[in-house]
A and B are shown apart, each in its own frame.
Chain A
Amino acid sequence: DAMVIQNPRYQVTQFGKPVTLSCSQTLNHNVMYWYQQKSSQAPKLLFHYYDKDFNNEADTPDNFQSRRPNTSFCFLDIRSPGLGDAAMYLCATMDTYTQETQYFGPGTRLLVL
């Protein structure tokens, strides 16, 4: 059974056209993360929600925003995608009360035309 779900799996957008990627989880974990992963590189953390608290990484561009309307859902908004934003976007969750392991979703592959 899928525990961390990402939709869509593939997303094509145009240069400068806003796009939203979604993540949902059935684990009831309190922390949700968004990573960007480019080819042959390790995942790069963009930001995370610790419960309702948003934590942005210092080097995450303002072009990237996130929303977490409830425990189960988290969204990644890219305001004006550039060609350099084409990548795999990974969502992960963790339950800080019981463990330190992050569980990843399958990712959304973003293509910017």
Chain B
Amino acid sequence: GESVGLHLPTLSVQEGDNSIINCAYSNSASDYFIWYKQESGKGPQFIIDIRSNMDKRQGQRVTVLLNKTVKHLSLQIAATQPGDSAVYFCAENGSSNTGKLIFGQGTTLQVKP
């Protein structure tokens, strides 16, 4: 079936290092992708998004890369801080236009001080 998956369930990085969180998607018809950050006990928070007509988009300390050839999405966080510790989900809009999202399983980012 169609799914969005993450390669690593947990990523541990040193404070100040760069983090890279990966996501594989299987629906080639998806044309919109989002990264969410979810801290413990809170709702998912929008971080950054990208459309399929782009291969890179930058925000504040975050960059999303999209490789449609291999159906791969990544989130890069520069100079990772303790406050970045959270679970990160990727999501895609799939092939429908109903506004539904398909979520990946999530990667836990742990930042060591």
Looking at chain A's contact residues, the main secondary structure is strand
Contact of B100 among A45, A90, A109 (CB under 8 A): A45
Q: Interface majority SS on B: helix, strand, loop or mixed?
A: loop
Q: Knowing A42-B89, A50-B99, say if A100 contacts B32 (CB, 8 Å).
A: yes
- Neighbouring B residues of A96 by C-beta, 8 Å: 99
Contact B106 A103 (CB under 8 A): no
Cross-interface CB contact of B43 among A40, A50, A104, cutoff 8 Å: A104
A42-B93 in contact (CB<8A): no
Which A residues lie within 8 Å of B34 (CB)? Answer: 101-102
Q: Tally the A-B contacts, defined by beta carbons under 8 Å.
A: 50
Q: Place the interface of chain B in its size category.
A: 20 to 34
Contact of B105 among A4, A42, A48, A105 (CB under 8 A): A42
User: A4-45: which residues lie under 8 A (CB-CB) from chain B?
Assistant: 4, 6, 31, 40-43, 45
Contact call A105/B43, Cβ cutoff below 8 A: yes
CB atoms of B100 and A43 under 8 A apart: no
A contacts, CB < 8 Å to B = 4, 6, 31, 40-43, 45, 48, 50, 55, 90, 92, 94, 96, 100-107, 109
